[in-house]
A and B are shown apart, each in its own frame.
Chain A
Amino acid sequence: MLAFLIRRLVQAALVMLVVASIAFLMFRFLGDPITNLLPEDATEQDRAEMSQKLGLNDPFLVQYGRFISNVAQGDFGQSYRNNRPVSDLLVERFPATAELVLVAALLSLMLGIPLGIYTALNPSGWISQGLQIISLLGISVPTFVTGILLILIFSVNLHWLPSFGRGEVVDLGWWTTGFLTVAGLKALVLPSVMLALFQMTLIMRLVRAEMLEVLRTDYIKFAHARGIPNRIVNFKYALKNTLIPVMTIFGLQLGGLIAFAIITETVFQWPGMGFLFIQAVNFTDVPVMAAYLVLVSLIFVVINTIVDLLYHVVDPRLRMERPSASRGV
């Protein structure tokens, strides 16, 4: 188990190094940040000075080495545009994204699972058919379109919910939350629905497919044959086995939610990390972009590693040490 853990950690570190390198290389092609940072009528001397300050005059390898060694120490440098340490900016923006993703995840689970069960148990009912069609739309319509539609209906026409921002937030010191005010909660509704929609339809379809599969297996048939009530067979026996793969997928999709939040945050001017990233792209703010990419990949790597470890805990077959590994001196 320990050997496995160490192997996984080394792999994770390698992945992070590769991501950081790719991020660095990519941003070499994004153009010149200086034009965006200086006024139009800046002189050549101003440009040279700025370039010197940002360390853009150094040879490529020096810049790369400095970047990697700083990143390894968790230092992403200064944001060109905001003039502040990138890590401060990310820490400041994290609560907004975390709350949005949390609500979206809960929404997609609490709606996706019951709907999936319903459509599996009543596969030919017209409600199920309707849900299936709607879920297809949910998967295929781009999220920014749904976002704009939600704004059009609930903000512009009905005036029920705000179209942008986080509403009022309460400052808890190191965390700002929108959960404690009415305006904050209202502001959460549309963006979290937009973000949840894709995940929700995914979970619904997954639950339905898995459940139909399980309902066809022998032990369910035997359970029915023994006269066990449908409710117990469906929810106690079938559902349990359905949810194992669903939970796995959901865990992996959490990373996707954080990544997808970029679009939601842009549409709703949600002051989170994804929005920070988009702003950074507009200003060629390389340090912020690099930090965001590294952070998001870190989240993916951590979730994946945890999922792998959980498999080991859950499934005894994987825990068997392979002979080659146990023989090592």
Chain B
Amino acid sequence: MKTSGLVLAAVSAMALNVGGASAETFRLGSSGDLYGMDPHSMTDSFTVAFLHHVYEPLVRYDASLGTEPALATEWEWVSETTARYHLREGVTFHDGQEFTAEDVVASINRAIHPDSPVRGNMAGVIGAVAVDDFTVDITLEGPSPLLNNYLTNIYIMDRGWLEEHDSLDPIDAQKGEEGYTTSNANGTGPFILKSRTPDAKTVLTVNEGWWDEPVHNLTQIELNPINSDATRVAALLSGELDMIFPSPLQDARRIAGTDGIKVMQAPGLRTIMMGFNLSDTLNNSDADGNPLKDLRVRQAIAESISYDLLHEKIMRGTSRSAGTLVAPDVSGFDAEVDAISAYDPEAAKAKLAEAGYADGFRLAMNCPNDRYVNDAEICQALSAMMARVGIEVALTTETKSLHFQRARAGETDMFMLGWATLPMLDGFSVLSAMLHTPEGQYGTWNPGGYSNPEVDRLTTAVAVELDADKRVEMTIAALKIADDELAWLPLHQQPLSWAARDVVEIPQTADDKPRLWLAQIAN
């Protein structure tokens, strides 16, 4: 009697499970789909993160975002411009081929090929040469302290397989090429590509011959892209999915209140900040010259902002207020620099008066409305707060492609930007892109034109410093200058929000990448 009741319960539980999948299949719902299966043909961070289940790099990030050996077991610098990697033996690709130095050489040369979109993630790498079957030398233009960080994103493909399918060179998608590698895969990773239907479903099965000790108990992974937030949540609540990410922030309370479902939230790596136009004139202002060039005015703006209000009202307590341009997990973070300016509208007014703007002035603020968590709401709050000290804000919120076009062209006075420092996970990312004076490779995202010779000097020094301690010290020093001079106005790290069934155990890392080879589904 008891047994039949159990059977009945089990049968009805299975009937309820619309997907009809067994417990060890991990059904993941994401907001967007992969760009394809070729790891060297796109830089989209979600795609790169997901392909890590199929392909592996020489070095990978562990669950606490430190680097650990993957396909390479150890490494050393042979000279200032040569790094030697010793490869793991006994690893096989999904098609059974043995993994050797040849594969690493072919993959690295493929990734730095002039047509490869990921070559930007391998700054300074000239090439790779096999020393013997399990040793590879990577040659560089100069010392590159971030080489291992870069390598975490460069996946190793099988040379023989690439040759066989005429794919040794990367696909140049814009030339109308569609390679075999876009929809097929042959990696060394914990899972094997089983099938792929773009925008609908990608299925991976477990790789029984994986070299590493599996922590997971999965037999299969199904990736279901679901664009609409409401539908993605519904699919989780209805039991069709085991986990969704991102999980919409505004629904967090309701989702968490559902039996059998949990919400996982943590501050992410992405720092949201406001950029200042520091050129000679503002675009939309009644003031002479550019008031923003006066440090006191920028300080007044910082003091007019209530970080508590942003944190509690706009971000519903889920963000981490930030005083520096990098998140705590990023090398270069310093708690002292991270101190937040106090909310003090009176002091702000006094500073404005001191700078000669007792009656305030007008400026234009631009924000995206579809890029960051609550982006438009944040800017509305900022403009209201700034209005209180006399700065009248003409706010424009628009779609990301228009916003970034305008921001980059310097057509705005204050603009919003979020920066996660990925893939390098290092403060150098901020120094080189946002703080160095715009020239050549540097300052790509510094349209405001912030410029400080000492920051420039530190940036170029950090780029080649191999001594880890010295590097961090110099990075902090540069970020401290940027903080003192309010080169940018950091606001907060926006939260990551995932939601899953209670039975799912998975580490949530600040880089917002679900690592399913570390996931367990309890049964």
Contact = CB atoms under 8 A, between A and B. Distances in A.
The answer to whether A and B assemble together is: yes
A36 B402 CA distance: 11
B226 interface: yes
Interface string B360-402: 0000000000100000000000000000000000000001111
17 contacts: A31-B405, A35-B400, A40-B419, A41-B433, A50-B174, A53-B175, A78-B173, A81-B35, A85-B176, A148-B231, A159-B17, A162-B235, A163-B240, A164-B235, A165-B200, A169-B197, A282-B370
Interface string A79-106: 0111111000000000000000000000
A155 interface: yes
Interface string A245-275: 0000000000000000000001111010001
Nearest to B444: A43
A199 interface: no
B444 A30 contact: no
Given A30-B402, A38-B43, A43 B234 contact: no
B120 A41 contact: yes
A161 interface: yes
Residue with the highest number of chain A CB atoms closer than 10 Å, among B35, B230, B238, B429: B238
A44 interface: yes
Nearest to B225: A269
Contacts of A276: 199
A183 to B, nearest CB: 8
Contacts of A152: 234
Contacts of A267: 228, 230-231
A229 interface: no
Interface residues of A, number: 52
A266 B227 contact: yes
Given A35-B400, A38-B117, 20 more contacts: A31-B402, A31-B404, A42-B444, A44-B444, A83-B171, A155-B240, A162-B18, A162-B235, A163-B238, A163-B240, A164-B231, A164-B232, A186-B18, A266-B227, A267-B231, A269-B200, A269-B228, A276-B199, A279-B199, A283-B401
B113 interface: no
Interface string B423-436: 00000010011000
Contacts of B400: 31, 35-36
B199 A78 contact: no
Contacts of B403: 31
A35 B401 contact: yes
Given A43-B444, A269-B226, A278-B227, A163 B41 contact: no
8 tightest CB-CB pairs across the interface, nearest first?
A: A83-B173, A31-B401, A39-B43, A31-B402, A32-B405, A155-B238, A35-B404, A284-B401
B36 interface: yes
A162 B238 CA distance: 8
B481 interface: no
B18 to A, nearest CB: 5
B224 A84 contact: no
Q: Which of B174, B226, B429 has the most CB of A within 10 A?
A: B174
Nearest to B230: A148
Contacts of B405: 31-32, 35
Contact of A40 (B225, B399, B445): B445
A151 B232 CA distance: 11
A82 B198 contact: yes
A166 interface: yes
B219 interface: no
A43 B441 contact: yes
A156 interface: yes
Interface string A18-53: 000000000000111101101111111010001001
B201 interface: yes
Interface residues of B, number: 56
Contacts of A162: 18-19, 235, 238, 240
A155 B234 contact: yes
B367 to A, nearest CB: 14
Nearest to A81: B35
A46 B445 CA distance: 13
A39 B226 contact: no
A110 interface: no
Given A53-B174, A266-B227, A271 B199 contact: yes
Contacts of B41: 83
B173 A268 contact: no
Contacts of A160: 18
A177 B182 CA distance: 23
Nearest to B179: A83
A162 B18 CA distance: 6
Contact of B201 (A33, A54, A78, A165): A165
B239 interface: yes
Contacts of B429: 41
B240 A164 contact: yes
Contacts of B171: 83
B237 interface: yes
B514 to A, nearest CB: 19
A39 B40 CA distance: 13
Interface in B203-238: 224-228, 230-232, 234-235, 237-238
Given A35-B404, A271-B199, A164 B176 contact: no
Nearest to A85: B176
Contacts of B240: 155, 162-164
A54 B227 contact: no
B277 interface: no
A268 B444 contact: no
A148 B432 CA distance: 45
Contacts of B199: 269, 271, 275-276, 279
Contact of A83 (B182, B235, B237, B402): B182
Interface string B1-27: 000000000000000111110000000
A159 B401 contact: no
Contacts of B238: 151, 155-156, 159, 162-163
Contacts of B198: 82, 271
A298 to B, nearest CB: 23
B256 to A, nearest CB: 16
B121 interface: yes
B470 interface: no
B408 interface: yes
B178 interface: yes
A268 B199 CA distance: 12
Contacts of B419: 40
B174 A83 contact: yes
Interface string A122-138: 00000000000000000
A282 B33 CA distance: 13
